[in-house]
Amino acid sequence: GAVVSQHPSRVICKSGTSVKIECRSLDFQATTMFWYRQFPKQSLMLMATSNEGSKATYEQGVEKDKFLINHASLTLSTLTVTSAHPEDSSFYICSARDTGKENQPQHFGDGTRLSIL
Amino acid sequence: GQNIDQPTEMTATEGAIVQINCTYQTSGFNGLFWYQQHAGEAPTFLSYNVLDGLEEKGRFSSFLSRSKGYSYLLLKELQMKDSASYLCAVMDSNYQLIWGAGTKLIIKP
């Protein structure tokens, strides 16, 4: 079945560090990928929609200059949390949808647990 | 506005049956998804309904009524490993997923 690989699975770093998270679709092409954030005991919150070859679409309240998204190929999107602070500590999850199959399920990566000290 | 409502938490007994309801109001409808999410893990896909009726997949079934804006996920022969959060999500007219807050299901022996 469709597989999405997300790396790294866990990051612990000091405040002020920038952290890059990669999301890869392994056996399908994904024009669109999605980045979510989930705080403990809360629901998934869509941060942004990553579009291959164009700018990402950010949800209201998400700072595009802080959460940089690059979707340079049909199989890779990256999220960079710039100058991370303790309040950015969260579970970040990406998902991808097979190109041309908009009504099909999104396939999720395993998530990245980010802890900023 | 768009919203998805589902109960926050439910408790059931091992071996029993539980039904998790989901009601929705969205801009258009292109299908309803149920996902399972264990604590600390990413969601995994369970089911997809786009037409009215019941979809059965092993111990899990999902029902949809588009006219009522209503779905349920039915879990039979509950096992301890079914303890998880169950997320209802509706795909709107722009093919964007609108997520419910999830229902935490606690299974007791």
Instruction: For residues B81 and B15, give the distance between their C-alpha atoms in angstroms, rounded to a whole number.
Output: 12
pLDDT in tens, A56-110: 999 999 999 999 999 989 999 999 999 999 999 999 999 998 887 777 788 899 9
**Which of A4, A43, A114 to probe by mutation at the B interface, max B CB count within 10 Å?**
A43
Please give the backbone phi and psi of residue B82, each rounded to the nearest 5 degrees, phi first. Answer: -80, -5
Q: Is A42 on the interface with B (CB under 8 A)?
A: yes
For B42, the closest of A42, A103, A111 (CB atoms) is: A111
Judged by CB atoms closer than 8 Å, whether chains meet at B31 and A108 is answered as: no
Block means of pLDDT (10 residues each) for chain B, 109 residues, are 92 98 94 94 93 95 97 98 96 88 96
Cβ neighbours of residue A8 under 8 Å, at least 6 residues apart?
A21, A112
Name the nearest CA neighbour of B50 among B102, B91, B2, B96. Answer: B91
CB-based burial label for A31 (10 Å; 0-12, 13-18, 19+): middle
